[in-house]
Structure 1
Amino acid sequence: MVDHGVVIRRHELTDSEWELLAPLIPSASRGRPRTEDRRVINGMVYKIRTGVSWRDLPERYGPWKTVYTRFRRYAIDGVFTRALQRIQARADAAGDIDWLVQIDSTIVRAHQHAAATGRKGEVPDDEPDDHALGRSRGGLTSKIHLACDGRGRPLAILLTPGQRHDGICARPLLERIRVPRTGPGRPRCRPDHVIADKAYSSRGFRAYLRKRGIGHTIPEKNDQKRHRRNRGRRGGRPTGFNSEIYRRRNTVERCFNQLKGFRGIATRYEKTATSYEAAVTLASLLLWARSI
């Protein structure tokens, strides 16, 4: 039941959103009573919406250490990832997912506090050595690689250092798509079609998509066209390209715009890759909840 006496403030979950998310949040089976779940989740949402530090959370969400500890535990346990998959499973069962999938990436500037990750050799087992932090022209950055459905909702997320090339991450990104079935059967992992820009134009990636039976619309780079023509018959046939389908590629850009509407996503404040990826996943979860 929804408590209609709850005052919903800005950057907090609505009653309908909480009704959808509440069953996906693990409950405490034993021990002393803990802070109300909705209150704590609202604190997490407020944090990624505004980008404030954990210590500066308003008192209405309870002790900031409680909110942070719960968020960190959920991040390590993959709670938000499983919740996102369960919402995707419901949508897929209802035929609500458009499997014309778009992939792309965006650079995120890391705040100076995100670089304070401790001494070398102190990296936890759940963290990459580089904490998904790298250096590019913009300074210290991370990169979010995203696969979204035809309605602009995240299907899979991959976090890397900012200088990592998109083409290298295309295959592991698609392999993160895993939408469970609500009944028997294996999770759905294969899109019907993939749309991507020239950064993903490589013979290896196209061969990978053909092997999996995935149609694709990816423009060919000019130097690749020239090299193929210079090889004559050995260069093979031109790649197929449907300009009408490619016009839908702006959907992934709109998805990034929505994610970056969260200030805690647009700038990385989290020190660990696990926590920042959990924040992006929580934001993705909210996008799904508001589209259903």
Structure 2
Amino acid sequence: MRRHELTDCEGELLAPLIPRAATGRPRVEDRRVINGMVCKIRTGIPWRDLPERYGPWQTVCTRFRRYALDGVFTRALQQIQSRADAAGDIDWLVQIDSTIVRAHQHAAATGRKGGPTGRTNRNDHALGRSRGGLTTKIHPACDGKGRPLALLITPGRRHDSTCAQTLLEQIRVPRTGPGRPRRRPDRVIADKAYSSRGCLRRRGIAHTIPEKIGQRRHRHHRGSRGGRPPRFGREIYRSRNTVERCFNLLKGFRGIATRYEKTATSYEAVVTRASFLLWARSVGRRTLVPCRASRAGEPFRSRH
């Protein structure tokens, strides 16, 4: 197995989720193509500069776009989260925050011919202009071990407080057996930018969020009508650095630290694919599907 390529466990987990055509000419090996996608995300190189060992770059690029629109990477992330939850490996002390990513000049030409519309394929393509130029924000909701449970991509100028409710609604960990997917964390930890606690109170979610100075003064001025100050646990709040470590791991992928993708759908697929790799390499081997010994002729065999 070369550097920036899938392990056998990761390949076994992805194999059932990859769509295959019933008819047509023989296609390039799936493991080979996905390794090209991982290499591209890790190094941030253009599609045309992919090494030849991954096959034609047009094939890798086309399949990546097809998988992104079909939600293959999102389903893979939910599947590994489901297995980790069944094994009791998820800490539901959730932290939310955001990080800004600078968009490369190649990502600025988002096209003006129109295209499919949806939640992540808006007219702005999650690109916002600020003092630093065109930027994008990544909003992750991480578990207590620094692994993304949900992701939200917005323009860089969007304020964090407007995205909290949408981000928490993206949390959806399916059950391995019967039952509804788990969507509610035990507690949410966030900084002052998420000081609007209305959505958390309506859902009955405990939270640890510091109060802004302006809100504190306004409450004091109102006297008894201002209500009681919200509870704030300093000891619990100290664990908020977990989400900062998650940013450090995600931005270890050069294709995430700088945005090269033109559309919001493609960039969200890049972040989701990297999140899957973080989950796959942090959970134990018993949590994942058992790895079989590689045999000649299998589509997902190691490269030695």
* Fold shared by both chains (TM-score > 0.5): yes
1:269 maps to 260
Deviations 1:102-147 (A, max 9, x none): 000000000000011112x524324201010011122100000110
2:209 is the counterpart of 1:218? yes
1:105 maps to 98
Task: Return 5+ residue gaps in structure 1 as ranges.
Answer: 1-7
* Larger RCO, structure (CA 8 Å, separation 6 or more): 2
Tell me which amino acid in the other structure corresponds to 1:176.
Q
Tell me which amino acid in the other structure corresponds to 2:151.
I
Distance 2:178 2:9 in 1: 28
* Match for residue 249 of structure 2 among 248, 258, 262: 258
Residue 140 of structure 1 aligns to a residue whose secondary structure is strand
* Match for residue 124 of structure 1 among 96, 116, 131: 116
Distance 2:275 2:263 in 1: 19
Distance 1:137 1:285 in 2: 32
Tell me which amino acid in the other structure corresponds to 1:289.
A
2:169 maps to 175
Deviations 1:169-226 (A, max 9, x none): 0000000001111111111111110000000012xxx222122121000000111111
Answer yes or no: is the 8 Å Cα contact 2:261–2:267 preserved in 1.
yes
Residue 146 of structure 1 aligns to a residue whose secondary structure is strand
Residue 97 of structure 2 aligns to a residue whose secondary structure is strand
Distance 2:129 2:167 in 1: 21
Residue 88 of structure 2 aligns to a residue whose secondary structure is coil
Residue 137 of structure 2 aligns to a residue whose secondary structure is strand
Distance 1:16 1:186 in 2: 27
1:69 maps to 62
1:5 maps to none
1:149 maps to 143
Distance 1:117 1:171 in 2: 28
1:285 maps to 276
Distance 2:200 2:263 in 1: 32
2:79 is the counterpart of 1:86? yes
Deviations 1:254-280 (A, max 9, x none): 011100000000000000000000000
1:4 maps to none
Residue 134 of structure 2 aligns to a residue whose secondary structure is strand
Residue 198 of structure 2 aligns to a residue whose secondary structure is helix
2:162 is the counterpart of 1:162? no
Q: Which moved more, 1:25-34 or 1:66-75?
A: 25-34
Tell me which amino acid in the other structure corresponds to 2:253.
F
Distance 1:18 1:74 in 2: 15
Task: Return 5+ residue gaps in structure 2 as ranges.
Answer: 284-304
2:126 is the counterpart of 1:135? no
Answer yes or no: is the 8 Å Cα contact 1:103–1:146 preserved in 2.
yes
Distance 2:230 2:83 in 1: 36
1:60 maps to 53
2:12 is the counterpart of 1:19? yes
Residue 231 of structure 1 aligns to a residue whose secondary structure is helix
Tell me which amino acid in the other structure corresponds to 1:153.
R
Tell me which amino acid in the other structure corresponds to 2:19.
P
Q: After TM superposition, which residue ranges in structure 1, 4 or more long, deviate above 4 angstroms?
A: none
Distance 1:286 1:215 in 2: 30
1:3 maps to none
Deviations 1:16-35 (A, max 9, x none): 33233333333343322211
Answer yes or no: is the 8 Å Cα contact 1:260–1:266 preserved in 2.
yes
* Match for residue 44 of structure 1 among 29, 37, 51: 37
TM-score of the superposed pair, with normalisation by structure 1: 0.94
TM-score of the superposed pair, with normalisation by structure 2: 0.90
Answer yes or no: is the 8 Å Cα contact 2:13–2:76 preserved in 1.
no
Answer yes or no: is the 8 Å Cα contact 1:105–1:166 preserved in 2.
yes
2:185 maps to 191
